[in-house]
Amino acid sequence: MSGETQTVNVLAGLSSDEVARLEEVCASQTYESGEAVFEEGEEGDDLYIVISGRIRVAKAISLDVDRTLATLGPGAVFGELAMVGEGTRSASAICEEATKLLVLSRDGFVSLTDQEPVLGLKVMGRFAAALAERLRTTTQLLTDTVKWGLEVSGAAALDLHHVLAVHATLSLALSNGERIVGRLLKVERSDVGATITLLGRDGQLHMVPYHAVVAIRLNPDVLATVQVEER
């Protein structure tokens, strides 16, 4: 095993030759303190292994507030979901100090798997185990983060029953840059957060998770009648 990857727990169990083969399809990247590896909402298909430095993984709660989900040091892996499906990044990854990363793209992994299927299966198994462990340790934190976001934004204090009763029209600004305008039909709370259901002007139902909302605009006439609970 090379010196750069000898601290990577997720690669434990691979032979030195297998690790060397994996390194051949990876790229090395360096970042300065404060630089973002990727931001929430961006598309991406790369997986990252921390060689040196430190990464903060954060979830946006509002336009200017975020919450740290994890802090990762040498040997940690992040971006595992890029290996199992397409989509946007669910959180941001920011360097807290000068950081060096080993980067594995989905195309690189597919190429490795095509050429050496046994090795590809072993690597995928290791990444899947890392992802499962990450989900176990962050599920409660994510639940707390969504609840904390309701408090930070002030939305938890709004009398949403009144807003529902008058069939208010809302304009929701989302973290991906989209905006949805529609009549508020339902707000559902659960252990993992809240979901806002709107009947859009296009006649479609839009069910929006609260953590994806960065701003809510109410009709001024409705806003004037909304009661705010004592904090």
Within 10 angstroms of residue 23's Cβ, the number of other Cβ atoms is: 18
What pLDDT sits at residue 134? Answer: 67
Domain 3-153 has CATH 3.30.365.10: no
Average pLDDT of the chain, as a whole number = 76
CATH 2.60.120.10 domain range(s) in the chain: 3-153
CATH 2.30.30.100 domain range(s) in the chain: 156-223
Residue 119 predicted with pLDDT over 80: yes
> Which range has highest mean pLDDT (109-113, 201-205, 210-214, 227-231)?
109-113
What pLDDT sits at residue 147? Answer: 53
| H-assigned helices in the chain | 16-24, 106-115, 117-153, 160-165, 220-223
Q: Is 162 helix (H, G, I), strand (E, B) or coil?
A: helix
For domain 156-223, give the fold.
SH3 type barrels. (2.30.30)
Residue 100 predicted with pLDDT over 70: yes
Residue 30 predicted with pLDDT over 90: yes
Say if residues 113 and 22 touch (Cβ distance below 8 Å).
Answer: no
Within 10 angstroms of residue 88's Cβ, the number of other Cβ atoms is: 13
Residue 197 predicted with pLDDT over 50: yes
Q: Is 86 helix (H, G, I), strand (E, B) or coil?
A: coil
